[in-house]
Structure 1
Amino acid sequence: MFVVLGATGKIGRATIAKLRGQGAPVRAVVRRPDGADDLSAMGCDIAVADIQNGAALSESMRGATAVQIICPMSVRADHAAAEMKNSIGTIVDALDRNRPSSILAISDYGAHLASDTGITLTFHHLESELKKLPAALTFLRSAEHMENWSRQIGRAVETGMLPSLHHPTTKLFPTVSAPDVGVIAGELLLSDTQAPLRIIHVEGPNRYSVEDVARTAGALASRKIATSEMPRPDWIPALVRGGLSASYAELVAALYDAHNAGRIDLEPGVGEVRRGRTGLREVLASMTKTS
């Protein structure tokens, strides 16, 4: 039995589609039963478990041979880092109670770094805690998701300006479409490799800059979009206006400080790189249609 946490997210759904396409038994773990009808229709067993409910989470993993986990991001939490660490503790405890033979964790580029990476430090903690368990581990370190641009593209098309936390806007950075991460996760789960530890980095077919994002979105919307480097003092206020808590916004800012210093990338000499098939234009096209 394959158990997938975060089953209703873009990554989880893509993993489940890959597994069910091969006829594999899947238990989809969801926070609420509403919104899981398509997963039931795909033949999944549905388990309802909030990430903070240790007993329900442990029960959802009962009988699992492999579990895919993803740490929920507490974007509105007053103490985001602490809440995410608590979630990791609950997940790891549930895994320890059930002892699946293999675990695949959706992690992050830069998770090998032990300090000054903001949100990514949460994934470093996740990997460290999972290494304590007696299971074959796969850390699938994902590059930044292309879908994150959905928060800005509509406004960029409207105003003709795309401000960015990536400095400079000409710098190429790794990025990937989230569903591609799920597809690759499904392939890795189906490979049934019992190596003690696999580290896989996943990014898209190409690296892009903010200039590439603006140029592509502009072509799709038939207008010119310029880019600008958002001044560092404006980052946290802008993120808070966008709906993040001040605590989470500080983690995002610290991550982009690390990005702009060139620290968020592949772990040198470790693991392998797999590439998703979806390019930037395809992802942005879905955003500009609704902008």
Structure 2
Amino acid sequence: MFVISGVTGNTGSVAAQSLIDQGHPVRVIVRSEEKGTPWKAKGAEVSVAEIMDIDAMTKALEGASGAYFLLPPDLTNEDFLGDSLKRAEAIVEAAKAARLPHAVILSSVGAQHGDKVGPISTIGQMERLFVATNIPLSAVRPAYFLENINDLMPAVLQDGVYPSMILPLDHKIDMVATKDIGLTVADALINPPAVPHRVIELKGAKQYSAKDIAAALSKSLGRQITPVPVPQEAWVDTFKQSGLSQQSAETMAEMHENINNGRIEFLDPNARKAGVDLASFIEKLVA
């Protein structure tokens, strides 16, 4: 029995569906019976639990051969970092209480660093908490999400520009679709590690820059989309205008700064590569 949390999100839903398609028994953790209804129809067991309810989470994990966890960020929280740590501690406590034999977590490229990585530090903390428990752990560390392009589509469609904090505009980085992350999670659950702490780095199919993204959007939309830089001094205010708290905005700005300067980078030059490329992702996005 594999237990999947975050099943209403992108990676969790892909992981759960992949496991079900392969004939594995699956239990999903949701916050309400209603959210579990479509998964029950697919043959999955449903457990209702909130992350901070350790007793309910423990019960949801009982009897599992492996479970997938992610730390959904509440970027509106004024104490984003403190709240994230509390939820990470609750997840690990439930896993310990349930005597979970294998945990798979959504970590991130750059999680090996304890500072100067923005919100990545919160999932790095969860990774280290699991390591301290001696629960066998598979930490999936993907690249920058291709889905981040979604957030910029209003500017693309309304103004014909692609604003970017990945700078300079020709700076190429790995980008990965959440579909590939979910499939990697499912594979990690089916094939548990032979070591206490396995790191699975997931690169993109290729590396892309803001110029590459704008060109792909131009081709798919049939009109010119121009990449434009967002000056670093405007990053925090830009994030706050999108609804982020001051602390969250500062951490997101810190993350982008350290993507650009190369601090947030893969450890393994031969890391696993994703299958979804930019062109196919954009075509589906604008369809």
Establish whether TM, by shorter chain, passes 0.5. yes
Instruction: Find the partner of 1:284 among 264, 282, 285.
Output: 282
2:155·2:163 contact (CA, 8 Å) conserved in 1?
no
Number of aligned residues: 287
Deviates more, 1:237-246 or 1:159-168: 237-246
Match of residue 186 from structure 1: 186
Map of 1:67 onto structure 2: 67
Matches within 5 A, 1:21-170: 21-170=21-170
Q: CA offset at residue 175 of structure 1?
A: 0.9
Cα distance between partner residues in 1 of 2:101 and 2:162? 46
CA distance in 1, matches of 2:214, 2:139: 32
Describe the shift of the 1:184–1:256 C-alpha distance in structure 2 as closer, same or farther (beyond 3 A).
same
State the AA in 1 paired with 2:140. Answer: L
CA deviation vs aligned residue, 1:72-93 (integer Å, no higher than 9, x gap): 1111111100110010010010
Q: Which amino acid aligns with 1:196?
A: P
- Once the two structures are TM-superposed, the CA of residue 116 in structure 1 deviates from its matched residue by 1.0
Aligned mates of 2:208, 2:35 — CA distance in 1: 33
What one-letter code is carried by the residue in structure 1 that aligns with 2:160? G
3-state SS of paired residue (2:198): strand
User: Match of 2:241?
Assistant: 241
Structure 1 SS opposite 2:114: coil
| SS of 1:36 mapped into structure 2 | helix
Describe the superposition over 1:35-84 as per-residue Cα deviations: whole angstroms up to 9, x where unpaired: 33321122110111111222211111111121111111111111100110
Q: 1:268 Cα shift?
A: 4.9
Q: For the Cα contact (< 8 Å) 1:153–1:287, is it kept in 2? A: no
CA distance in 2, matches of 1:41, 1:275: 33
Task: Give the root-mean-square deviation of aligned CA atoms.
Answer: 1.4
- Looking at structure 2, the residues matched to 193 and 58 of structure 1 have their Cα atoms a distance apart, in angstroms, of 22
Which string of whole-angstrom CA distances, capped at 9 and with x for unpartnered residues, describes residues 222-281 of structure 1?
111111211112111111222222221111101011111111110257xx6222211112
Separation in structure 1 between the aligned mates of residue 209 and residue 142 of structure 2, nearest angstrom:
17
In structure 2, C-alpha distance between the alignment counterparts of 1:93 and 1:35, rounded to whole Å = 24
Amino acid at match of 1:11: T
Query: Quick check: 1:153–1:217 contact (8 Å CA) kept in 2?
Result: no
Partner of 2:273: 275
- Work out the CA distance in 1 between the residues paired with 2:256 and 2:171: 13
Aligned counterpart, 2:229 = 229
Worse-superposed segment, 167-176 or 53-62: 53-62
**Aligned-partner residue type, residue 144 of structure 2:** E
**Share of identical aligned residues, percent?**
25
